Structure 1
Amino acid sequence: MPGVIGPWWASRRSWAIWAIPRAAIVFLLLVDGAAIAVTTSSAFAPTTARDALEWVVLVALGLVAAEMTRQVERRRRRFSNTPHVNFSSVWTLSAALILPPALASALVAVLYLHLWFRSWRGVSGIHAYRVVFSACNVVLSCQVAGWAGRQLDLVPPGAERDAVTAAGLVGVIALYFLVNSTVVAIAIVLIKGRMSLAGLLGPVNENLLELATLCMGALTALLLVWWPWLVVVIFLPLYALHRTVLIRQFEQAATTDAKTGLLNAASWTAIGEAEIERSREYGTEAALLLIDVEYLVEGRYQEDCLVPDRVLRQVGDALRDEVRGDDLCGRLGGAEFAAVLPGTRPDVLVAVARRIRQRIIDVCSDSAESLARICVSVGAASFPGVGRTLQELMTAADNALFTAKDGGRRNQVLVVEATDDGLGGS
């Protein structure tokens, strides 16, 4: 026995969960314990043969859907830096609405075990403790949603229903989503430390995708009660949605800079050229900013002093916060960034460039080392006064940027202006 316990204990000490903060470990274990406690407390509730049959049907549907999309799911899971919705909510919310609580929890356990062994195991960054936590979070969401459905007399869904009942069903969907998202947000804060509200809420598209999945789950529950054989119509849109999300993730990976989340150089150039062409077609104004961030050690610029990745991420965040929704921001390479600002007039360009420059300085200065500081130089040019193509604007703005940097690296902003004699600087 000691020979068996010894290796097991040694391997346990290398589990990935010990790499996260202690507070996060405690919270994850509390969520796991709460899910087990709630399930155990409801395990002795009476069940009928119909309940057992519906459980078998839902498990079978969930497993078939998971097998249909297994390869797509593995590819999606390899995007470890993107949010992930696994579509199991279609079956878990259905279970919460029509099954006893213990059977709903059992369904979650079966589906997540299948996902782990068939789709997620072996994928880099996917650890067992994360899968257990996710499953327990879903169990709690199901229990809360099922309880609310029973209080509102939505479980099981009957044939004679009105608008008030429909509103109650929408409320149950929202409650499931709220519980699940809140637990995940708390875990993220404890694991990664302080985060912005936008980072905790996640992208709008991902939240809409999860809500769409939950709506499909509610429809699945209604079909199982009213027209059980019609439930097969769920599979085609579910499979199509799965593949559509994978394609979108591929597109995001191909067009986005991994370190900043901004457009990469190729994508920014292509979209920027289209934006300038649109301004030319409709006779509107636009502006271009070239922004260079330097890491100065002991007040001196050094060729081998690279800007840390954390500073690059902060520059990306600062740009997203300061520009408008239709402005185009990208990372051209190294620590050089660019932005096309449609509809920006030349007379306000200086103020806009200075505001963006100051925001970057404010955001990044706190993260600089004790003997280092951040220098932000900006070169700007406007369309159509300075140039009529993106390349002409970039050439003018790049000359202004070089002059700004060559002037002593004092966080300067230089805007190229159209003059009677050609192009002038300011």
Structure 2
Amino acid sequence: MSISERSAASVDRPAGGRARWPFLQEPPGLIVYMSLLVLAALFLFGVAFALTAFSPVDLAVFATLVAGAAISVEANRRLATPQHAGLNRDLLGAWWFPVVLLLPPVYSFLIPVPVYLLVQRRLRQTLVYRRVFNTASVGVSGFVVSVAWHWMIAGDFMGGLRGDAGVTEQLTSVPGVLFALAGCAVFTVLNTLIVALAARISTGTKSGLLPLWDREALMVDTVELCVGVIVAALAHISLFLLPIVVPPILLLQRSLLYQQLQTAARTDPKTGLLNAPTWEQEASIEIARSRAARNRSAVLIIDIDHFKRVNDTHGHLFGDQVLMGVATTISHQLRQSDLLGRFGGEEFVVLLPGADVNEAWHAAERLRVEVGCMEIAVEKVQVTVTVSVGLAVAGEHGNDLVELLTAADLALYRAKETGRNRVCLPGGRPEGGTVPDPRETTAAPERPQGIADA
């Protein structure tokens, strides 16, 4: 997963809804955070620009690297990269890392500008202010690493800010290459943390930062680091060698397309969760495995209360934020072995392998409470939503996925009919169990209902 597209995947969402000024519909904390980062980027760019002596050689290197990035963007477009494949990946960092290593730090702010303009116009459009935030994030991350890299060579901080000549010679030594790889890794981590924090503020969750990498993303980032340093070394030797690396980079980019298409076919485009067909397929396999091992498993159907009212009151853009927030909150409360998917509309489904009635009940209650504690800001007002949960357990309410989904759907209907914001079973109290019968007790909301009571 490339740096640029991690930004877009983590922060960008469809610009639907009725909001005339989408920026003002964001949580106030996110607006402040984005604004501070952009202002910091502008300030640091001004300082670096004032100290930098631009040379024709540096400008030629910069133009050549921009041209390489432009070829990669156009190749992505020709490859018909999925627009809604969840976390899209590319190898644009292979052209950005050489800017950090070869040129004065001021160029780290300049390189994402033409690249993102091309991405916005030719590849994938998104809200402009989020694209500006992504540009600032890449610029600040690259600037910090570039200053450290030049500071190490120049021996003084001001020399690091100016980008004194001589740093490129380090790319011909083993210690220099290792330090360059470490610097590019810091670039990747820093940019990811900046964007992950923005995503956390945007969704309004309190469960920590989003997961940053999976095994596939880590592998792609490692390849990107290595290719970026190779491009930098070749550019140091001669700019005429750079055309040699273009075909391998495009071939690597093409190899990423298969994974992206797989992801697009398996995941829901708005939340990044498993879509209904994929969840049903994997849940059926897991239930069959549990039955063969004589283990229990439970199915939850989770429905956001009065979600249509959310869309009608605040617009579909805010509704998308609610879906993302609920999906993130639920995923943070589940075990790694649990299976979470979006069933359609405002419904989510969860498979809890190995859970009996009591364990499933407590897990569902925890999810209900956590979602009720989630706050999303709209027009400076903190809005809360609630969920109703239907619960069914294999062996108690059915033996296969179809029977369990039918029973859980009946339980969800009962939860809606008895007041919402509660967990219900399909029938009465299970024999020998300690779970309260929803016909005898009702779950009191942990927080004011907010929209759900509007």
* TM-score w.r.t. length of structure 1: 0.68
Aligned to 2:117: 116
Where do 1:46-85 residues align within 5 Å?
A: 52=57, 56=60, 59-60=63-64, 63-64=67-68, 66-67=70-71, 69-73=73-77, 76=81, 78-79=83-84
> Structure 1 pair 151/207, CA: closer, same or farther in 2 (3 Å)?
farther
Post-superposition offset of 1:23: 7.5
Partner amino acid, structure 2, of 1:150: I
Q: Using the alignment, how far apart are the partners of 2:353 and 2:295 within structure 1?
A: 8
> Structure 1 pair 362/414, CA: closer, same or farther in 2 (3 Å)?
farther
- Please tell me whether the aligned partners of residues 92 and 217 of structure 1 are also in contact (alpha carbons under 8 angstroms): yes
Which of 143, 147, 150 is the matching residue for 2:146? 143
What are the ranges of 5 or more consecutive residues in structure 2 without an aligned counterpart? 1-19, 156-165, 439-454
Aligned to 2:100: 96
Q: Using the alignment, how far apart are the partners of 2:306 and 2:400 within structure 1?
A: 32
Partner amino acid, structure 1, of 2:150: W
Which of 157, 169, 176 is the matching residue for 1:156? 169
Where do 1:118-197 residues align within 5 Å?
A: 119-121=119-121, 123-125=124-126, 127=128, 130=132, 133=136, 136-137=139-140, 140-141=143-144, 143-148=146-151, 150=153, 155-157=168-170, 161=174, 167-181=178-192
Q: Using the alignment, how far apart are the partners of 1:366 and 1:100 within structure 2?
A: 42
- Please tell me whether the aligned partners of residues 137 and 194 of structure 2 are also in contact (alpha carbons under 8 angstroms): no
Post-superposition offset of 1:58: 7.2
Partner amino acid, structure 2, of 1:105: Y
Aligned to 1:292: 303
Q: Using the alignment, how far apart are the partners of 1:91 and 1:296 within structure 2?
A: 44
Aligned to 2:414: 403
What are the ranges of 5 or more consecutive residues in structure 1 without an aligned counterpart? 1-13
> Structure 1 pair 89/266, CA: closer, same or farther in 2 (3 Å)?
same
Q: Using the alignment, how far apart are the partners of 1:413 and 1:398 within structure 2?
A: 10
Post-superposition offset of 1:93: 2.0
- Please tell me whether the aligned partners of residues 379 and 404 of structure 1 are also in contact (alpha carbons under 8 angstroms): yes
Where do 1:17-416 residues align within 5 Å?
A: 21=31, 24-25=34-35, 27-43=37-53, 52=57, 56=60, 59-60=63-64, 63-64=67-68, 66-67=70-71, 69-73=73-77, 76=81, 78-79=83-84, 87-97=91-101, 99-101=102-104, 105=107, 109=110, 112-113=113-114, 116-117=117-118, 119-121=119-121, 123-125=124-126, 127=128, 130=132, 133=136, 136-137=139-140, 140-141=143-144, 143-148=146-151, 150=153, 155-157=168-170, 161=174, 167-181=178-192, 202=212, 204=214, 209-210=220-221, 212-224=223-235, 234-295=245-306, 309=319, 310-363=321-374, 376-384=387-395, 386-409=397-420, 411-414=422-425
Post-superposition offset of 1:323: 1.0
- Please tell me whether the aligned partners of residues 69 and 115 of structure 2 are also in contact (alpha carbons under 8 angstroms): no
Q: Using the alignment, how far apart are the partners of 2:362 and 2:200 within structure 1?
A: 36
- Please tell me whether the aligned partners of residues 265 and 330 of structure 1 are also in contact (alpha carbons under 8 angstroms): yes
User: Which of 355-364 and 219-228 deviates more?
Assistant: 219-228
Partner amino acid, structure 2, of 1:289: L
- Please tell me whether the aligned partners of residues 200 and 208 of structure 2 are also in contact (alpha carbons under 8 angstroms): no
Partner amino acid, structure 2, of 1:156: E
Tell which has more relative contact order, 1 or 2 (C-alpha 8 A, sep 6+). 2
Q: Using the alignment, how far apart are the partners of 1:315 and 1:291 within structure 2?
A: 10
Larger Rg: 1
Post-superposition offset of 1:88: 3.2
> Structure 1 pair 92/260, CA: closer, same or farther in 2 (3 Å)?
closer
Identity of aligned residues (%): 24
> Structure 1 pair 141/78, CA: closer, same or farther in 2 (3 Å)?
farther
> Structure 1 pair 186/235, CA: closer, same or farther in 2 (3 Å)?
same
Q: Using the alignment, how far apart are the partners of 1:111 and 1:408 within structure 2?
A: 51
Aligned to 1:4: none
> Structure 1 pair 62/341, CA: closer, same or farther in 2 (3 Å)?
same
Aligned to 1:11: none
> Structure 1 pair 393/151, CA: closer, same or farther in 2 (3 Å)?
farther
3-state DSSP of counterpart to 1:90: helix
> Structure 1 pair 177/270, CA: closer, same or farther in 2 (3 Å)?
same
Partner amino acid, structure 2, of 1:262: L
* TM-score w.r.t. length of structure 2: 0.65
Partner amino acid, structure 2, of 1:157: Q
User: Which of 334-343 and 205-214 deviates more?
Assistant: 205-214
User: Which of 228-237 and 272-281 deviates more?
Assistant: 228-237
Aligned to 2:8: none
Partner amino acid, structure 1, of 2:170: P
